[in-house]
Structure 1
Amino acid sequence: MGRREALIALYAAELSGKCGLDPDMPLLERVVDGCGPTIFVPDGGIVDVDSPAELARIRRNFLVRKLALPDGHDLPEAIRAAVEMYGAAGDPKYRAVLYYMLVVQLGAEARHP
């Protein structure tokens, strides 16, 4: 099993175990591919959910630029809800898992490459 496949398996386990979601594997693979090589870098693959600047970057770079969603008050609410579902404290929060949850929560499956 390659690094990509191992990460996808880890992310699927996180989604089902911590978030109670049954991941759509083709969508999860598209989200992982959309993250690019950043998931292979230890700091790039993890989201600091306690950093307002990091959450603003997710809103600006992922939700608005990548998914082309309109920048409104619902985006910070969606981020907050995804973080709460994932668990706000403790273990690392994987970028691909959080992005997957946002795509599903906002109904943007067709928008993600």
Structure 2
Amino acid sequence: MGKRDDLIAKYADDLKEKCGMEPDMDLLTKVTIGCGPSIYDADASTVAASQPSELETVKNNFLIKKLALEDGPQLMDAINGVLDTYGRSERNKYRAVVYYMLVKQFGKESIYS
């Protein structure tokens, strides 16, 4: 197993243990690959949930540009819902896990097929 496979396994564990979800491993792998090299950078691989600018970045760069969703308050509501599910006190909220949950929430799995 390579480093990416190790990270995907870690993300799957987070989904199971911290979020109470059984991950679709094929989709999780594709979302992780879609994150690009950021998954290998300690800072970029996580979402800083307490920083409004970081949440705006998730909304604009992922939900609007990648998932082609219309801007509106529902996007920030979805991000906050995912962060609540992950656990606000959880120190490391992995970007791939947050993105995976957002893809599932909006039913946008087809983007990764």
- Which of the five TM-score ranges fits, normalised by the shorter chain? over 0.9
Q: Find the counterpart in structure 1 of residue 70 from structure 2.
A: 70
AA matched with 1:56: E
Q: Distance in 1 between matches of 2:62 and 2:98?
A: 11
Q: Distance in 1 between matches of 2:69 and 2:8?
A: 25
Q: Distance in 2 between matches of 1:73 and 1:102?
A: 15
- 1:27-106 alignment, distance < 5 Å: 27-106=27-106
Q: Distance in 1 between matches of 2:54 and 2:66?
A: 16
Structure with greater helix share of residues: 2
Count of aligned positions? 113
AA matched with 2:10: L
Q: Distance in 1 between matches of 2:83 and 2:38?
A: 20
Q: Give ranges in structure 1 of 5+ residues lacking alignment.
A: none
Q: How big is the alpha-carbon RMSD for the aligned residues of Structure 1 and Structure 2?
A: 1.0
TM-score for both structures, normalised by structure 1? 0.96
**How far has the Cα of 1:5 moved from its partner?**
0.2
Identity %: 49
